[in-house]
Structure 1
Amino acid sequence: MTAVDQDQIEHRQDQVHTWGVYGLLAVSCLLTVVAGGLVGSRAEWYAAGALVLAAVLLQLWHGPRRGPRTASWRGTVYYALRWAISFALTWINPFFGFFAATGYFDSDETIVGPWRQRFGLFATALVVAGTQAGGLPFHSVVQWPLFGVMLLTNTAMLGLAGHVAQQQEQRSRDRAVTIAELERTNTALQQALDENAALHAQLLLQAREAGVADERRRLAAEIHDTIAQGLTGIIAQLQVVTNTPDRTLAREHIDRAMKLARHSLGEARRSVQNLAPVALENDGLPEALKKTVVEWSERTGVRAEFTVTGASEQLHAELAATLLRIAQEALSNASRHARATRVGVTLTYLGDEVILDIRDDGQGFDPLAVRERTGTGGFGLDGMRARAERIAGSLTLESERGHGTAVSARVPLVPHDS
């Protein structure tokens, strides 16, 4: 039930409580006039008129009902005076029992105290039962047992109605408590959601910072392993040129220096591309991996093949970028250290996860020996493993001297629109 519906119901109740008294008083007067023969004398007519006027003035003094009222001594006086007037009117004519029934309307809103409310209802039941038995005073012995039956019936009906009203009131209180509890629960849930959102933002920031740190370490390793070594080689070749008078030998060392310079320039460009994978701007991961493998094969002269298995899907941007960088790093390691003649790259979709495998037939190595010697996984393996773990994935390595190397990255499949 909406608040508007509740307001309409309360407004109708206010109208019934206010105009119901006047309406029942008018009905009583009308029936009394129509059955005028039942009034014994002119004095009773005058008395009835005076009492009706007193009832109207009393109702005006009490005022219209606007919203729920609370019991008070003023209301108790009003109820008692109205009961007295209704009793006197029913003594004159039993048709005024309709007006006496107004005591059932508002005893709980006027009389102070629960027992006094019940006393007020019982007093009203006495008057109503008297009118139902033929009117007071009784002129026949039969009216007394009839009065007793009517009184018991009215009292039982009042008790039943009161019991139902108490149950409804209890249900209303229970609903109010339930609503309040739900509101508190919703408030706590909203606070938890806000805290989770703040924690998620914090974790995202930490993940970004960790990614930046990983990228810096990767670039530092790239510069040390490629560009710095290339520059060192160039300097060494140029020093030989400056110290030899042989022009043929000098020319040979200059050619070597130029080759090293071109190679270092290519390595610098590759590092920049790894920093921002432009290959994924216009292509999906399978297309970007295929182009990367083809370009790597053309640059190194090593035969390389790329294969996709399973139903390919467009992956989340972070996931696709991570797998592409792992593939680039693995291919870079193969070209620098493996001395391979053949490389295979496979991208596999398995419903709820994606697997990237890079295999070569190179010279291989002992991973444990490399770790003991360097203190790390070597060959950029720690960086690749950190990338996979950052997106809830894993990276495994299998290698043996003389039997090549296999790198496998396994990550959860997260669609692009997630």
Structure 2
Amino acid sequence: MSGMTIEQRWEAFFRYGPYLLLGVAGLMAFLSADVVGMTGTERRVAVAAAGAACALQLWWDRTRAGLTGNHPAGRAYYALRTLVAFVLCWVNPFFSIYAIMGYFDSGHLLPRRFVRAGLLCTAVIMAGAQCGSGLPPASAANWAAFAALFVLHFSLALVFGNISERESERTEQQKETISELERANTRLEEALAENAALHVQLLVQAREAGVADERRRLAAEIHDTLAQGLTGIIAQLQAAASTADPALAREHLDRAAGLARHSLGEARRSVHDLVPSALVDDDLPGALKTTVTEWARRTGVQAEFTVTGTVEPLHDEVGATLLRIAQEALANAARHADAGRAGVTLSYMGDEITLDVRDDGRGFDPAVPPPRGSTGGFGLVGMRARAERIAGMVEVESEPGLGTAVSARVPLVRRA
């Protein structure tokens, strides 16, 4: 009981209280039958009325589950129970212990305009049972006692009535507050659903941009997979050819073979527009960390990877876009920057996610177009095109001799 709310305690009382009070009243009536002078007929009436009270309570327990307040069935139950209590108190005043239930649930079972009438009936029964001679009073003294007790009980009835009204008002206020919270939650859920739908619509529209966009995508994928892979293979083969150490040459050849297999797999995935293999069994931070580590081992450039903010599961298109941008930025740093250090930072920033790739290489002037035949310009264009496909953007900051910083910012679209 200690863990129950006030409403749950009242509910338990309304369900089990009548049985408990009727049992106590029946026991007291049985023990006092000779004292109050109950006849054989009165005893049979008491037994029959007590049985009727139990049957009435069983019927009400089964009926009230699906009913709301002030239902006609509740009024009928209250009236019949009051009548049974009157009969019981007529034959033995100790049954007033059972009749007192009428004070507690009148506000729940009766309309507001009938609550005081119900309490008045209960007050009459209680005063008659306690006046000394039962109902009806047998003498003037009993009538005087009845009048005094009636005034007392009627005052109690008014008190109970006021308490019941305040309880009903408080219950209505709680229901209204709960309803308002539910409406607010519904509006919030609708707003969140609308926001998610807008993000999904944005991605769908980006993926259905047309044949021209698909051609650009394939060109960028080929550049990011085959071109980068071939560049790495050539570098490993040149290193193998320039060394006289068979073990070191074998190591370079193994790396070249590994790059060839990886590039072939990535090319196949690109043709079918699948996510990069690095994201199949790992999230974006893990894939980026692996990419940076392998790049540093292959190029000999010291590189660090950092994650800020709370990591969240990303839509496949967002993760693939940022991974490809990081790979292209690192590839450019290896081919053109002659850098000694590089850093990659992935930042989760609420509704956005940013990727920053920095190096301390020779840098360049972004306003000067790249030489004809150079792939650097296509790499920058490809990175910007990838970000724009998902409503993002790429910014490049660089100066000759001061290194290069590539910053990509895209919406943070969570995985469904």
- Give how far 1:123 is off: 1.3
**Which residue does the alignment assign to 2:377?**
381
> What does the per-residue CA deviation read over 1:173-199, in whole Å, with 9 as the maximum and x for residues that have no partner?
246525743763575367457636735
**Structure 1 unaligned regions, length at least 5:** 227-268, 295-305, 335-342, 400-404
Paired residue type of 1:35: V
What is the CA-CA distance between 1:166 and the residue it aligns to?
Answer: 1.6
Code of the aligned partner of 1:88: W
Identify the residue that residue 411 of structure 1 maps to in structure 2. Answer: 407
Tell me if structure 2 keeps the 8 A contact 1:385–1:395. Answer: no
Give the match for residue 49 of structure 2: 55
Matched, 1:104 2:103: yes
Distance 1:59 1:116, change over 3 A: same
Map 1:114-193 → 2, pairs under 5 A: 114-135=112-133, 136-137=137-138, 139-140=140-141, 143=145, 146-147=148-149, 149-167=151-169, 169-170=171-172, 173-174=175-176, 176-177=178-179, 180-181=182-183, 184=186, 188=190, 191-192=193-194
Query: How big is each residue's C-alpha offset from its partner over 1:186-216, in whole Å with a ceiling of 9 and x where there is no partner?
Result: 7536745763673576478579958724516
1:23 matched to 2:28: no
Contact persistence 1:103–1:121 (CA under 8 A): yes
Distance 1:152 1:110, change over 3 A: closer
Q: Contact 1:214/1:383 (CA < 8 Å) preserved in 2?
A: no
Distance 1:85 1:387, change over 3 A: same
Quote the Cα distance in structure 1 between the aligned partners of 2:102 and 2:289. Answer: 84
Are residue 354 (structure 1) and residue 357 (structure 2) matched?
yes
Task: Write the distance in 2 (CA, Å) between the matches of 1:45 and 1:180.
Answer: 60
Conserved 8 A contact 2:21-2:98: yes
Residue matched to 1:33: 33
Query: Do the aligned residues in 2 keep the contact of 1:355 with 1:409 (CA within 8 Å)?
Result: yes
Deviations along 1:222-245, one digit per CA (max 9) or x if unpaired, are 8xxx9xxxxxxxxxxxxxxxxxxx
Change (3 A) 1:103 1:282: closer
**Contact map agreement 1:75 1:109 (CA 8 A) in 2:** no
One of 40, 61, 66 as aligned partner of 2:61: 66
Counterpart contact for 1:346–1:356, Cα < 8 Å: yes
Question: 8 Å contact 1:83–1:100 — kept in the other structure?
Answer: yes
Which residue is equivalent to 1:302?
A: none
Q: CA deviation at 1:359?
A: 1.5
SS of the residue corresponding to residue 39 of structure 2 reads helix
Are residues 109 and 170 of structure 1, via their aligned partners in 2, closer, same or farther at CA, if it must alter by over 3 Å?
closer
SS of the aligned residue for 1:359 comes to coil
Q: 1:387 Cα shift?
A: 1.3
List per-residue Cα deviations over 1:286-331 (Å, max 9, x = no partner).
6525634x7xxxxxxxxxxx565xx555898865653443454466
Q: Which amino acid aligns with 2:328?
A: R
Taking only aligned residues, the RMSD between alpha carbons, in angstroms, comes to: 5.6
- Identify if the C-alpha distance between structure 1 residues 104 and 110 changes in structure 2 by more than 3 Å, giving closer, same or farther: same
**Residues 351/108 of structure 1: CA separation in 2 closer, same or farther (3 Å cut):** closer
The 3 A distance-change label for structure 1 pair 20 and 379 is closer
- Which residue identity is paired with 1:123? C
Where 1:354 maps in the other structure, the secondary structure is: strand
Contact 1:356/1:409, CA 8 A, preserved across alignment = yes
State the aligned residue count. 324
Partner of 1:233: none
- Give the distance between the partners of 1:278 and 1:77, measured in 2 at CA: 77
> Which residue does the alignment assign to 1:85?
87
CA distance in 2, matches of 1:28, 1:369: 106
- Percent identity among equivalent residues? 16
Tell me the distance in 1 between the aligned counterparts of 2:51 and 2:366.
106
Q: What letter matches 2:122 in structure 1?
A: T
Aligned mates of 1:29, 1:213 — CA distance in 2: 95
Read off the aligned partner of 2:30 and give its amino acid letter: L
1:284-363 to structure 2, matched below 5 A, reads 284-285=291-292, 288-289=295-296, 291-292=298-299, 306=301, 308=303, 312-313=305-306, 319=322, 321-329=324-332, 343-344=338-339, 346-348=341-343, 353-359=356-362
User: Does the aligned pair in 2 maintain the 1:327–1:358 contact within 8 Å?
Assistant: no
Taking the aligned partners of 2:46 and 2:289, their CA distance within structure 1 comes to 93
User: Structure 1 CA distance, aligned partners of 2:217 and 2:331?
Assistant: 18
Q: What are the superposed Cα offsets for residues 234-263 of structure 1, whole Å, 9 maximum, x if unpaired? A: xxxxxxxxxxxxxxxxxxxxxxxxxxxxxx
What amino acid is aligned across from residue 43 of structure 2 in structure 1?
A: G
Instruction: Give me the TM-score of the superposition, normalised by structure 2.
Output: 0.54
If the length of structure 1 is used for normalisation, what is the TM-score?
0.54
| Deviation of 1:74 (Å) | 4.5
Q: C-alpha deviations, 1:262-284, integer Å up to 9, x for none?
A: xxxxxxx9xx79x7699999964
